[in-house]
Amino acid sequence: MRLILRSLIIIFAVMLLYAVQRINVMRLGYDIQDLKNEKKQLEQIHKSLLIEKAALTSAERIEKIATSYLEMKRPGDSQIVLVREGRNGEKGFISAKAAIEDKKTDSPLRIVKYFDWRL
């Protein structure tokens, strides 16, 4: 009698473990499906954001805003200064200041362009 009782308890425990594992597998399947749906939605949002970024950063749009709303205009040739690397690879203000002083203009507005020739 004891042997039969122990066998029934073992069978019941195995069946219980199987049922618990099966429930976990089903739950994980639902979780995977939910994550796939969320990924699909996020990919669609990402695509729309890339399109929006391209539209907002287009050169035509930026130029239109600069000329229309900010009342800016393109610089003249006398307002553009080419900046090169200074001595010992120095960049920035020292070279820009020297280049500006070399090119005397009447305009208070100066546009400084820096080109890194190593790129």
Q: Residue 85 has what pLDDT?
A: 62
Mean pLDDT of the chain: 79
Find where tokens 């070399």 sit.
102
Q: Residue 95 has what pLDDT?
A: 43
Q: How confident is the model at residue 86 (pLDDT cuts 50, 70, 90)?
A: low
Predicted confidence (pLDDT) per residue in 10-65, tens digit: 999 999 999 999 999 999 999 999 999 999 999 999 999 999 999 999 888 888 88
Q: Measured between alpha carbons, how far is residue 84 from residues 1, 7, 89, 94 in Å?
A: 98, 88, 9, 10
SS3 117: coil
Cβ(103)–Cβ(78) below 8 Å: yes
Cβ(56)–Cβ(48) below 8 Å: no
Q: What is the pTM of this model?
A: 0.50
